[in-house]
């Protein structure tokens, strides 16, 4: 019955949003109450439908998460009710496979944790929280108990030393030898998207695109007065006005026909200089929002028209096309089972053979902006990334397709970078962009 309510609520919300998903000019943003309802319904559906498959796939009987207030495990935070902004006191979540293959969800905590987790600790009957945990473990007698420890992914390494010591000091000895790392399960939980999330993700990315278009316009920019730093703070303020959040501070870069070369590596490490926006400038933004626990990460370009101009110069239009070509070469290499380093190598070789000058640094996207999953290059690791670059691609996972292509602009007598980043899903059909991608420069009058 609870599952039916969950499906009905999701369908109702998506029906409400269906007209605005198509209407990029004015995306609708849910009220805080409706956001909470959506988040909780997604959490319930993921635990009931996705998690049993993942636990069976990775042969894990019990998944145990422990957090103290304000020092939360990153994965535990993805399972808390929307109204819980942190753990409370010591919060213990137990996810156990039962005889039928389904997953039973329990909370051993002083408070009730939403509707998904059954309260498994009666403090009056059993004052010791850790003994209550042991009683539950004995009830299931798991072959293994998975904890969030990981070398390659910080997201999956959320069990802190104090909680680990407390667990091991009270856990019965027969079970101490059954402790394993939850890393493969933890990464799968974070990277896998269910259909209802994908439908909403399209809408979330459309909101991010809309904000960028609004920022890169004459309604926001006064040419000759507005500085790049002014525009950065406009993005921060605009996100707050919409009752949203950014997960990183935006950045604005300016490339123009002057004697200064654009140092990509220096910009990554030291940030961009603050400059007054002028006619003839090529602007670039790096911007991301967090909404309904999902994150976006987008980079796009705009051209500031000179007096009398109605379009961007052909050499900049062509430069953007080469950036799109690099995207196509790269995403065509995505195949389930291939590692990030294999895809990176093949894409770079093909792009270079076609006369491009690529740098690829694509990352997973989802509950975190730089999320768990397959890493496909870093700006300073173009020969491959040890660890998470050796992880294979899986279907139904989201990525921020992030890369740049260097192009020599003859009229400017220098090399520029077309830096693109668009959010996409990888599924059985291949890689497709959640709300399209930039194929034309935004124009600022």
Whether the Cβ atoms of residue 261 and residue 412 lie closer than 8 Å to each other: no
C-alpha to C-alpha distance for 334 and 431, rounded to whole angstroms: 7
DSSP string, 51-93: HHHHHHHTT-SEEEEEEETTB--HHHHTTS-TT-SS--SEEEE
C-alpha to C-alpha distance for 37 and 31, rounded to whole angstroms: 10
What per-residue confidence (pLDDT) applies to 85? 83
Q: Report angle CA 318, 321, 326 to the nearest 5 degrees.
A: 130
What per-residue confidence (pLDDT) applies to 137? 97
Span 418-434, average pLDDT: 98
The answer, yes or no, to whether residue 269 has pLDDT greater than 90, is no
* pLDDT digits 0-9 by tens, 139-175: 999 999 999 999 999 999 999 999 999 999 999 999 9
Span 230-247, average pLDDT: 97
Strand partners, 443: 303
DSSP string, 343-402: HHHHHHHHHHHTT--EEE-BEEESSSSS-SS--B-BTTBTT--TTTTSSBP-SSEEEEEE
Whether the Cβ atoms of residue 309 and residue 219 lie closer than 8 Å to each other: no
Q: What is the DSSP letter of 35?
A: H
Q: What is the DSSP letter of 101?
A: S
H-helix or E-strand spanning residue 299: strand 298-304
H-helix or E-strand spanning residue 4: helix 2-22
Q: Report angle CA 75, 76, 79 to the nearest 5 degrees.
A: 100
What per-residue confidence (pLDDT) applies to 266? 60
What per-residue confidence (pLDDT) applies to 50? 97
Span 351-361, average pLDDT: 98
* pLDDT digits 0-9 by tens, 64-83: 999 999 999 999 999 999 98
The answer, yes or no, to whether residue 13 has pLDDT greater than 60, is no
Comparing 14-18, 250-254, 428-432, which segment has the lowest mean pLDDT? 14-18
CA distance to 276, 366, 369, 420, 424, per residue, from 400 (Å): 29, 9, 9, 10, 6
* pLDDT digits 0-9 by tens, 387-420: 999 999 999 999 999 999 999 999 999 999 999 9
Strands 145-147 and 62-68: parallel
* pLDDT digits 0-9 by tens, 306-342: 999 999 999 999 999 999 999 999 999 999 999 999 9
CA distance to 130, 155, 177, 198, per residue, from 161 (Å): 16, 15, 18, 36
H-helix or E-strand spanning residue 223: none
Determine how many CB atoms are found less than 10 A away from the CB of residue 224: 10
| Among candidate residues 337, 235, 325, the one with its CA nearest the CA of residue 288 | 235
* pLDDT digits 0-9 by tens, 25-65: 568 999 999 999 999 999 999 999 999 999 999 999 999 99
CA torsion, points 69, 70, 76, 80, in degrees to nearest 10?
A: 70
Strands 430-433 and 414-427: antiparallel
The answer, yes or no, to whether residue 294 has pLDDT greater than 60, is yes
pTM for this structure? 0.91
Share of the chain above pLDDT 70, in %: 92
More confident residue, 259 or 118: 118
Structure tokens at 115: 């509707």
What per-residue confidence (pLDDT) applies to 25? 57
Span 430-440, average pLDDT: 98
Span 127-133, average pLDDT: 94
Q: What is the DSSP letter of 213?
A: H
Comparing 3-12, 93-102, 158-167, which segment has the lowest mean pLDDT? 3-12
* pLDDT digits 0-9 by tens, 209-236: 999 999 999 999 999 999 999 999 999 9
**410: phi > 0 → left, psi -120 to 50 → alpha, else beta; which?**
alpha
Structure tokens at 299: 């980079």
Predicted confidence band of residue 264 (pLDDT cuts 50, 70, 90): low
What per-residue confidence (pLDDT) applies to 259? 81
Whether the Cβ atoms of residue 186 and residue 156 lie closer than 8 Å to each other: yes
Span 1-28, average pLDDT: 49
Whether the Cβ atoms of residue 159 and residue 145 lie closer than 8 Å to each other: no
Share of the chain above pLDDT 90, in %: 85
Predicted confidence band of residue 267 (pLDDT cuts 50, 70, 90): low
The answer, yes or no, to whether residue 293 has pLDDT greater than 50, is yes
What per-residue confidence (pLDDT) applies to 15? 43
| Mean confidence (pLDDT) of the chain | 92
Span 376-391, average pLDDT: 95
Span 346-372, average pLDDT: 98
């Amino acid at each position: 019955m609870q599952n039916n309510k969950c499906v009905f609520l999701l369908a109702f919300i998506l029906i409400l949003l269906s007209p605005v998903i198509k209407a990029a000019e004015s995306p609708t943003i849910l009220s805080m109450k409706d956001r909470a309802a959506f988040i909780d319904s997604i959490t319930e559906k993921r635990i009931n439908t996705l998690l049993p498959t993942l636990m069976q796939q990775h042969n894990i009987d019990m998944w145990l998460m422990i957090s103290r207030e304000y020092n939360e495990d990153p994965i535990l935070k993805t399972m808390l009710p929307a109204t819980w902004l942190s753990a409370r006191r010591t919060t213990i979540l137990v996810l156990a496979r039962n005889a039928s293959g389904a997953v039973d969800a329990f909370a051993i905590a002083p408070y009730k944790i939403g509707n998904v987790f059954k309260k498994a600790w009666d403090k009056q009957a059993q004052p010791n929280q850790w003994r209550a945990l042991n009683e539950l473990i004995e009830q299931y007698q798991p072959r293994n108990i998975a904890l969030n420890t990981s070398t390659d992914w910080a997201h999956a390494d959320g069990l802190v030393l104090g909680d680990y010591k407390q667990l091991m000091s009270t856990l019965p000895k027969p079970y101490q030898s059954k402790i394993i790392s939850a890393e493969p399960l933890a990464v799968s939980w974070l990277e896998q998207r269910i259909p209802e999330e994908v439908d909403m993700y399209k809408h979330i990315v459309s909101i991010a695109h809309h904000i960028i278009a609004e920022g890169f316009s004459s309604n926001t920019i006064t040419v000759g007065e507005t500085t790049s730093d002014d525009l950065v703070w406009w993005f921060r303020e605009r996100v707050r006005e919409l009752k949203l959040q950014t997960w990183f501070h935006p950045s604005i870069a300016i490339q123009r026909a002057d004697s200064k070369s654009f140092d990509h590596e220096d910009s990554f490490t030291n940030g961009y200089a603050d400059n007054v926006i002028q006619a003839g400038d090529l602007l670039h933004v790096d911007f991301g929002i967090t909404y309904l626990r999902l994150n976006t990460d987008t980079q796009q370009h705009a051209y500031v028209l000179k007096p009398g101009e109605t379009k961007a110069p052909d050499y900049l239009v062509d430069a953007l096309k080469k950036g799109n070509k690099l995207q196509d070469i790269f995403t065509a290499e995505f195949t389930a089972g291939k590692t990030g380093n294999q895809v990176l190598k093949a894409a770079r070789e093909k792009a270079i053979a076609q006369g491009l000058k690529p740098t690829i640094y694509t990352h997973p996207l989802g509950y975190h902006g730089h999320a768990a999953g397959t890493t496909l290059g870093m700006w300073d690791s173009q020969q491959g990334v040890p660890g998470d670059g050796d992880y294979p691609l899986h279907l139904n996972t989201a990525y921020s397709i992030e890369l740049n292509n260097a192009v020599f602009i003859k009229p400017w007598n220098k090399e520029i970078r077309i830096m693109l980043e668009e959010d996409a899903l990888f599924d059985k059909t291949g890689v497709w962009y959640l709300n399209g991608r930039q194929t034309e420069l935004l124009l600022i009058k």
